Amino acid sequence: MIELHYEHIHDLALGAKFMGGGGGGDPYPGQLMAQEAIRAFGPVLVWAVDEVPPDALVVGVGMMGGTTVLAERLPSDGEASQAVRGLESYLDRPVTALISIEMAGINGVIPVIPAARLGLPLVDGDLMGRALPGIHMTLATVAGISATPMVIVDARGSQVILDTPDNLTAEIMARSLVMDMGGAAQMAIYPMTRAQLCRVVLAGSMSHRMRIGRTLREARDHHHDPIPAIQRVAGGMELFQGKVTSAQRQWQVGYDYAFGDASVEGAGVYMGQEMILKFQNEYLLAAVGRHLVTTVPDNIIVLEARTADPIPPEFLVSGMDLVVLGLPCAEGWRTQDGLAIVGPRAFGYDVDYRPLAVGSENRQDSNPC
């Protein structure tokens, strides 16, 4: 058990931004709200998975909607707390602890806010291991654990309870509702017992993100090259370096984020080569020439070469110097059931999953209690 204090949130947000690779929404607004919540209500307890009581009810917390909405309208600090209380009321049972549904992007820090406000501990783990665009894209879905009942709350305090027969239906219905709620809302989702949690949680992911953030901050503070330092801590491998030559983006109805692709002209040892990146909010495929380098569910991390700042697809511009890293996904995503939910074909790409050639010691897998 550890305590999460004000000074830890910056590192947590940096690590969550890195693991989003540019997707998942900018954690900075969440960082400010989480720091203010801790200042107002005190530090947050963080439980290791094996510290969760046997009779616990653990609930996932996160934000759903378009990442671009956050540039115009900041979320409220009370939405997630209201969603948790609403789910407690619906289930007629108190919540024991909260967990992030994805320890990347803004959802890597949002759960700190209701945890501080409600005096609830956070579980050191998450359900995705990376950023993904759908609320059904979790290891809980792979294990047959329902995302519902779930409660969605918007910035005006409107509250909707969903109880659906499957998690894909929950995603479709919630997506439509959130668009009517202004494009972004917060939710309490995936109510789980401890036994269910132990089957799906990526244990230790919060601590891991904080180590990544601390490494990145210290490298910048000491004017060291942050790329090698962050790669050592995060694991994975370098896939490419180069300069953006073009980026094509489009927006689809119901999804407030970018779909498209970008071209990167190689530099250094990659001179004379070209990488194509395909994205749907997150980067999903990377190919060099006709060679497919890697695909979702492995994590493609696109960084600005000098600062190691993750670059969202909507901010790619010609002339930008990039380093592209690949991080291996959790083993649960590499199963047939996992790939059916988050493999490249699930996003409409007619290619097979291309796993990273990285040792299993670099993968973060779910740990049974």
Is the peptide bond preceding residue 149 cis, with omega within 30 degrees of 0? Answer: yes
Decide which of 97 and 258 is more confident.
Answer: 97
- What local confidence, expressed as pLDDT, does residue 71 receive? 57
Contact between 150 and 162 (Cβ < 8 Å): yes
Q: Go through the domains of the chain in sequence order and give each one's CATH number.
A: 2-205 (3.40.1610.10), 236-362 (2.40.390)
Structure tokens given for 71: 């540039």
Least confident of 137-141, 321-325, 352-356: 352-356
- Amino acid 280 reads Q
- Amino acid 209 reads R
- What local confidence, expressed as pLDDT, does residue 252 receive? 60
Cα–Cα distances (Å) from 272 to 241, 264, 269, 300, in that order, read 11, 11, 9, 21
pLDDT at position 361 over 60: no
Q: Decide: residue 40, CB within 10 A, 0-12 exposed, 13-18 middle, 19+ buried.
A: exposed
- What local confidence, expressed as pLDDT, does residue 257 receive? 63
CA atoms within 13 A on the CB side of 217: 17
Mean pLDDT, the chain, whole residue set: 91
Contact between 40 and 318 (Cβ < 8 Å): no
- Helix (H/G/I), strand (E/B), else coil: 299: strand
Confidence band of 142 (pLDDT split at 50, 70, 90) = very high
- What local confidence, expressed as pLDDT, does residue 74 receive? 64
pLDDT in tens, 51-92: 999 999 999 999 998 666 665 666 677 999 999 999 999 999
Say what the pTM is: 0.93
Strands (E), the chain: 2-4, 44-47, 57-65, 97-100, 122-126, 150-153, 159-162, 184-193, 202-203, 237-252, 255-266, 274-280, 282-288, 291-295, 299-304, 321-327
Mean pLDDT, residues 290-319: 93
